[in-house]
Homo-oligomer: A and B are copies of this chain.
Amino acid sequence: MAARTVDRRVQRTRRLLRDALMSLVQEKGFEELSVQDIIDRADVGRATFYAHFDNKEDLLLSGLEELRISLKERQRQALSRGGANDERVLAFTHEMFVHASQHRDVFRSMVGKHSGAAIQRSFHKMLVDLVREEVMTATTPRGAASAACEPIIEFIAGGLFGLVMWWVSGKARPSVEEVNSLFRRLAIPAIRAAS
């Protein structure tokens, strides 16, 4: 029961594997990647890899989880800060565009020729969950009719997904502020339609 702390070796190995994955994803795309590539780059034993992760999807998802947590935190902060409803709602997107801009190569590899379905599906699902939380609090502060919102949530999340993918992969590169405010102009009328 060593309890709290995680063995240094474990931390080290997981970090090596994640770093290797990230750098390789940018070079070759996720689908073209083998576990062999990852452990070669990370300089880690084959058995070691499988002791930590089930497969390469599992490794990837553990990384995406970090992003999800950080966006959720942003969202929480924005909600508690107060202000006009229209300002607070969907506040996490700004942070997400910033993040996407910083990790552009990784994001772009999600859309590229050799992307991988798991990564797209997970990211899409993450957006749906984040948007749902927003739409729910925006439309039914006291928790009422919710089922009818679902298709609208899916529409907005899908639109956000499309917009992000276009933004990181296209030639035209509006700033974070521009693309974020465009998104808000498109999404907020849709939320209104949910009422």
Contact = CB atoms under 8 A, between A and B. Distances in A.
A162 B150 CA distance: 11
A126 interface: no
Interface string A144-171: 0001001110111111111101110010
Interface in A149-195: 150-152, 154-163, 165-167, 170, 172, 174, 179, 182-183, 185-186, 189-190, 193
A157 B152 contact: no
Size band of the interface chain A makes with B: 35 or more
Interface stretch (A6-14, A74-82, A99-107, A111-119): A111-119
B172 A147 contact: yes
Interface of A: 31, 111, 114-117, 119-121, 124, 128, 147, 150-152, 154-163, 165-167, 170, 172, 174, 179, 182-183, 185-186, 189-190, 193
10 contacts: A114-B117, A150-B170, A151-B174, A152-B186, A155-B162, A159-B159, A186-B193, A189-B189, A189-B190, A190-B190
